Amino acid sequence: MSADEWEALPDDPFELLVAWLPHNDDPARPLMTVATLDDSGAPDARSLLLSEWDREGFYWHTDERSRKVAQVRSRPEVALCIPLLGVPSAGVSHQLVVAGRAEVAPVQEQQRAYAARPPYLQQLAWQNTPEFAALPQHERIRQWEEFAREHPGGLTAPDSWIGFRVRPARLVFWFGGPLTASRRMEYVREGDGWVRRILAG
């Protein structure tokens, strides 16, 4: 990124999000790390898909019975780390970090996100349980195939399906490339706007 391009970075980070993140209609969803805190304050993390995003926040979905949901309900402060490919031919890469508070997403959004999932992930939402995980592999395969045969017309979301929206208080855009040291642009929410500053990479 040239000096002129860097100086032209927008005051509103949403403009950068539009340039960096895939549109919600794109079936290829970015994989991100979702970091939470347990009851003792220790960090925990796992990889999830970024289902959707908009000006209100960043959305992810999971099983309501999971450990991460219990952690979010207890301590809603979370961080998301989303590695993104920039311009491969130029060796440029990007990364986005989001820090904010998680809240249960609207029901309509949860239903829309489930409907957009490919068949494998829709079925996974039904069968990805501790009981299923404990079965021998041959039995897991048998039950998976049987479940698919029993639902040829598709699936609706199970009762355990839940989505969260992370409303960002802080956004950090990391710019990397081979020509010089990486650096970051940090946006911090202040009132109805954002304050930005440059950070070392």
- The whole-angstrom separation of Cα 96 and Cα 80 is 8
Q: pLDDT tens-digit profile of 40-83?
A: 999 999 999 999 999 999 999 999 999 999 999 999 999 999 99
Contact 194, 11 (CB under 8 A): yes
Domain containing 174 — which CATH number? 2.30.110.10
Q: Is the pLDDT of residue 197 over 80?
A: yes
143 is a domain residue: no
- Mean of pLDDT values over 150-172: 95
Total structural domains in the chain?
1
- This prediction has a pTM of 0.90
Supply the DSSP string of 70-96, one letter for each residue: HHHHH--EEEEEEEEEEEGGGTEEEEE
pLDDT for 153: 87
Which residues span the domain enclosing 83?
Answer: 3-117+159-200
140 is a domain residue: no
139 is a domain residue: no
Q: Residue 75 is which amino acid?
A: R
* Strand partners of residue 163: 61
150 is a domain residue: no
Query: Encoding tokens for residue 144?
Result: 């998976």
Q: Is the pLDDT of residue 179 over 90?
A: no
- The whole-angstrom separation of Cα 52 and Cα 61 is 10
* Percentage of residues in the chain having pLDDT higher than 90: 80
- Mean of pLDDT values over 136-161: 95
